[in-house]
Amino acid sequence: MIKLHDLHFKPFISEKEIDTAVQKMADAIAADLGDEVPVFVGIFNGSFMLVSDFVKKYPKPCEVTFIKLASYEGVKSTEDIQRLIGLTQDLTGRTVVILEDIIDSGNTLEEVHRIFENENVKQLLIATLFYKPEAYNKDFKLHYVGMEIPNKFIVGYGLDYDGLGRDLPDVYQLKTTQHMTNLVLFGPPGAGKGTQANFLKEKYDLIHISTGDVFRFNIKNETALGMLAKSYMDKGELVPDQVTIDMLNKEVEKNTGANGFIFDGFPRTNAQAKALDELMDSKDSQINAMVALEVDDEVLVKRLLERGQTSGRADDADERIIRNRIKEYYNKTAILKDYYAEQEKYFGVDGVGSIEEITVRLSKVIDKL
C-alpha cells in the first residue's frame, strides 16, 4: 500500500506484467510494420517510461519524438487540453505510431488526431499501454492495446496523481475505501478488554464487532447464517470458519462508512486470521494491528476472583478454572501473536494499571497506525 498526497493506493499491476505487455506490443507492431522505419511519438509526461522501455524492446530501427499535452487535473479528466510542445519534425509520408501510457475518456486522443490532421502522414497508428474501455467515449480506433483495465484511477509507470507516482516501476490502483483503523483486540480473561474496547470505540469512532455478540444476534434473529451456525452447534460440531466470516462480512457491510472496526473474539486460528485478511482485502482495507493487553497471570487470577465475588459468574469463582482459561488463552493466541508479529502488526500493551493509564498506552499505539 502507498500514500500519495491524501490518497491511498494498492498494488495493481506488477513491473513484470507491464514488461510482458510492452514486449507484446513491440513485437506486434514490428511484425505489422515490416521494414518500414516508424516514428514513435510519445505523449509527455505520462508516457516517458513506456516509450523508453518500448523502444529498447523494439527489434528494428525506429525514430522517437515527443509531444506534450495536458488534460488531467487531480484524478478527473478535463475537457480542456492544452498543447504545450508540438511536433518539431516533418512527418510527411511517414508511419507514425502514437505511444500513449493510458487512454481514458479519449479526449487526449482526439487532440492527437487534430494535431496530425494536416501532417500528411502515411498512416497514424495508436498504441496504448493501458486502456479503460468503460471510460472511453470516442470512435477512434485503438490499434494496439497493452492491457484493458477497469475504470479506476491508477498511478505508477509514468502515471501520476498530482505530480507524484510517476517514478514507481509498478502500477497502483486508487483504493475505494480510504484509510481505516481496523484492530484485532486481544487480552486474557480479566485483562479489561471490554472496558478498553468501549473506550477505543468512542475515541476513534470505531465499530466494535464482538464475534460472540454477532453469533447470538444471528441465532436469536434466526437469520440464514444463524440457523446454519446453529445446525453445526446442535450437532456438537465447530461452526466452519466460512460461516463466521460470512457473518462478519455482513457486519462490515452494514457499516461501510465506518472509520474502522475492532474485532473481538476473532480470529482464533491462523486460518481465521488469513480469512479475515482476505475479507478486509476484498473491502479494499486491511487489519492494521493486533493489540493485546498483557497482564501477569497472578494479577488476572486475583482480578477474576474479585469479580467472581460480586458478579456471581460461576467461571470466575474457581481458581483452577480461571487458571485453565488463562492457559487456554495463551495456547490459542501464541500462534496469532506470531502471525501478526510477522507482518509487524503485533502490539503488546501493558494491561496493569488504572483504566486511564491503560487507555493512554493503547492510544499511543493506535495514533501511530
- Rule CB under 5 A: is residue 156 a binding residue for Mg ion? no
Determine contact, residues 71/81, Cβ cutoff 8 Å: yes
Least separation in angstroms between residue 81's CB and ligand IMP is 7
Helix extents (H) in the chain: 15-33, 48-57, 107-116, 193-204, 211-220, 224-234, 241-254, 270-282, 297-311, 319-342, 355-367
Q: Which residues contact ligand IMP by CB under 6 A?
A: 46, 71-72, 77, 101-109, 153-155, 159
Q: Between 174 and 300, whose beta carbon lies closer to Mg ion? A: 174
Beta carbons within 10 angstroms of residue 166's beta carbon: 17
Q: Between 43 and 336, whose beta carbon lies closer to Mg ion? A: 43
- Rule CB under 5 A: is residue 287 a binding residue for Mg ion? no
Q: Between 46 and 190, whose beta carbon lies closer to Mg ion? A: 46
Q: Which residue has the cell 483486540?
A: 185
CA–CA separation, 240 and 169 (whole Å): 41
Pick the binder of Mg ion from 46, 192, 267, 351 (CB under 5 A): 46
Q: Which residue has the cell 492491457?
A: 147
- Rule CB under 5 A: is residue 226 a binding residue for Mg ion? no
Give the DSSP letter of residue 161. Answer: B
- Look at residue 288 and give the partner it binds from Mg ion, ligand IMP, none, a contact being a CB closer than 5 to 8 Å depending on partner kind: none
- Look at residue 206 and give the partner it binds from Mg ion, ligand IMP, none, a contact being a CB closer than 5 to 8 Å depending on partner kind: none
Q: Between 70 and 317, whose beta carbon lies closer to ligand IMP? A: 70
- Taking contact as CB under 5 A, which single stretch among the options 38-46, 228-236, 284-292, 321-329 is the one that binds Mg ion? 38-46
Least separation in angstroms between residue 72's CB and ligand IMP is 4
- Look at residue 77 and give the partner it binds from ligand IMP, Mg ion, none, a contact being a CB closer than 5 to 8 Å depending on partner kind: ligand IMP
Least separation in angstroms between residue 159's CB and ligand IMP is 4
- Look at residue 264 and give the partner it binds from Mg ion, ligand IMP, none, a contact being a CB closer than 5 to 8 Å depending on partner kind: none
Distances (CA, A) of 163 to 70, 80, 105, 107, 231: 12, 18, 20, 20, 56
Least separation in angstroms between residue 27's CB and ligand IMP is 24
- Cα 287–Cα 350–Cα 183 angle in degrees, nearest 5: 15
Q: Which residue has the cell 468501549?
A: 198
Least separation in angstroms between residue 170's CB and ligand IMP is 14
- Rule CB under 5 A: is residue 260 a binding residue for Mg ion? no
Least separation in angstroms between residue 40's CB and ligand IMP is 16
CA–CA separation, 178 and 188 (whole Å): 32
Pairing of strands 154-155, 183-186: unpaired
- Rule CB under 5 A: is residue 50 a binding residue for Mg ion? no
Least separation in angstroms between residue 18's CB and ligand IMP is 14
Q: Between 110 and 246, whose beta carbon lies closer to Mg ion? A: 110
CA–CA separation, 106 and 210 (whole Å): 49
- Look at residue 103 and give the partner it binds from Mg ion, ligand IMP, none, a contact being a CB closer than 5 to 8 Å depending on partner kind: ligand IMP
Pairing of strands 346-350, 144-148: unpaired
Reduced to 3 states (helix: H, G, I; strand: E, B; else coil), residue 156 is: strand
- Rule CB under 5 A: is residue 229 a binding residue for Mg ion? no
Pick the binder of Mg ion from 18, 22, 43, 155 (CB under 5 A): 43
Per residue, what are the HEC states of 95-118? Answer: EEEEEEEEECCCHHHHHHHHHHCC
Interface residues with Mg ion (CB under 5 A) are 43, 46
